[in-house]
């Protein structure tokens, strides 16, 4: 028996190391910018994946293929000076929501496949314009073309860049996929009318209230260029809430309205993968005015110590601006009591007369996520909830790792005995 162990242990150790490495790779997922970093010929493409926040969307997904463009192709794309929103649309057409490694490209069933893209998933692409046709051509070539391109396959597979099998594949292609829809000019962020968009999509009462408060409105406008995400309550709940809003002090009204915007761009994919506390345009030193973003599968909620609201729709998602609707009015603890029946006491007059909100809001456009409250400040259950929320992004791997670790333990015991 001792001799058998001596023979098995040298074999067991490297097997265990490989097994642990596989578990670690699964838990860590992928990072597209790091995968592209060793390839200087793709540096401009890599830069714009980060600048448009497409990298975050790619990293939040599995089973995905990135059609990378070399620096020359990117130079051609940028030569017409498109807005950052247009660049995002074009590049999102180059992210396929399926895995295509070099081997699979040459083994496509019936020689052709139609793949959905991030452009299609964004809801911006009408009809089938967000789909890409992939065809295995004669002579070992593989062609790509948007579905809207009348079957023309003018872009060809060049080489495989990086592959994490069945998770992410990065392949270089010969040029930009031609799409009039994706390349259509989009307004710059300063040209977007926030209140018109909200009014047209069921948030008119909130939009009108914001428009009538010049200080809060200016804070929003000053921060749009740097990135803003707005969460506007739908008309029915906000209309019922208006009497409570009118009881707030002048400074309280400004802070209340600024509380509904985060000074950074957050796509839906980013909201789902970045659970935790968020600062808002109203955050200013001791005045936290923060809330917790958390998700359960596809459902994203916003939570304060007073209540929780649910995101019900996407009104706009064009970097650097995102606007979402919510089913209820989120209540900041700085302004309302626990029962939310009446506003909290108004601030002293000297506090209400502080410097203009616009400059304060603008300075916060670079602020980092807030630090979590101490356990003493939170009501029963909040700390535990927030701790659980912070682990959501890794939870899908946790159960698998533990289960596999248990199986590994039994296996080791069996070999040793």
pLDDT tens readout for residues 270-287 = 888 778 999 999 998 778
Pairing label, strands 276-278, 261-262: unpaired
Query: What's residue 407's pLDDT?
Result: 53
Cβ neighbors of 412 (< 8 A, separation 6 or more) are 12, 16
Query: What's residue 83's pLDDT?
Result: 83
Residue 212 burial (CB count, 10 A): 12
Query: What's residue 73's pLDDT?
Result: 96
Query: What's residue 337's pLDDT?
Result: 84
Query: What's residue 410's pLDDT?
Result: 52
| Rounded Cα distance, 106 and 126, in Å | 30
Residue spans of the chain under pLDDT 70: 1-28, 187-191, 339-417
| Rounded Cα distance, 180 and 316, in Å | 20
The two tokens of residue 179 are 């799409």
Question: What's the pTM value of the predicted model, to 2 decimals?
Answer: 0.54
| Rounded Cα distance, 173 and 304, in Å | 47
Query: What's residue 152's pLDDT?
Result: 86
Query: What's residue 67's pLDDT?
Result: 97
Angle at 116 between CA 111 and CA 120, to 5 degrees: 150
């Amino acid at each position: 028996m001792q001799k058998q162990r001596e023979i098995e242990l040298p074999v067991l150790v490297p097997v265990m190391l490989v097994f642990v490495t596989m578990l670690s790779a699964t838990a860590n997922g992928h990072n597209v910018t790091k995968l592209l970093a060793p390839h200087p010929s793709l540096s401009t493409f890599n830069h714009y994946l980060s600048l448009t926040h497409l990298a975050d969307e790619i990293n939040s997904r599995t089973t995905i293929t990135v059609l990378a463009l070399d620096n020359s192709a990117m130079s051609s794309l940028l030569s017409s000076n498109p807005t950052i929103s247009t660049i995002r649309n074009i590049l999102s057409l180059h992210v396929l929501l399926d895995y295509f490694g070099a081997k699979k490209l040459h083994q496509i069933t019936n020689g052709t496949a139609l793949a959905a893209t991030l452009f299609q998933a964004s809801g911006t692409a009408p009809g089938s314009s967000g789909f890409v046709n992939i065809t295995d051509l004669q002579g070992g070539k593989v062609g790509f073309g948007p579905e809207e391109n009348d079957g023309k396959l003018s872009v060809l597979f060049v080489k495989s860049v990086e592959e994490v099998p069945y998770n992410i594949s990065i392949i270089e292609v010969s040029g930009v996929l031609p799409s009039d829809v994706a390349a259509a000019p989009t307004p710059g962020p300063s040209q977007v009318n926030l209140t018109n968009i909200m009014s047209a999509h069921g948030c008119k009462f909130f939009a009108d209230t914001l428009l009538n408060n010049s200080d809060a409105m200016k804070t929003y406008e000053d921060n749009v260029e740097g990135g803003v995400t707005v969460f506007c309550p739908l008309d029915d709940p906000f209309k019922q809430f208006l009497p409570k809003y009118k009881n707030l002090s002048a400074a309280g009204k400004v802070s209340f309205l600024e509380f509904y915007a985060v000074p950074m761009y957050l796509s839906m994919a980013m909201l789902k993968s970045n659970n935790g506390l968020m600062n808002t345009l109203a955050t200013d030193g001791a005045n936290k005015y923060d809330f917790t973003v958390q998700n359960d599968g596809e459902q994203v909620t916003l939570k304060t110590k007073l209540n929780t609201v649910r995101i019900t729709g996407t009104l706009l998602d064009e970097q650097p601006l995102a606007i979402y609707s919510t089913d209820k009015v989120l209540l900041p603890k700085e302004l309302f009591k626990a029962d939310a029946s009446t506003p909290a006491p108004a601030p002293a007059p000297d506090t209400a007369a502080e410097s203009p909100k616009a400059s304060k809001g603008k300075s916060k456009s670079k602020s980092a996520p807030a630090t979590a409250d101490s356990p003493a400040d939170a009501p029963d259950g909040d700390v535990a909830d927030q701790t659980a929320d912070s682990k959501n992004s890794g939870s899908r791997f946790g159960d698998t790792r533990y289960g596999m670790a248990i199986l590994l333990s039994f296996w080791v015991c069996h070999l040793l005995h």
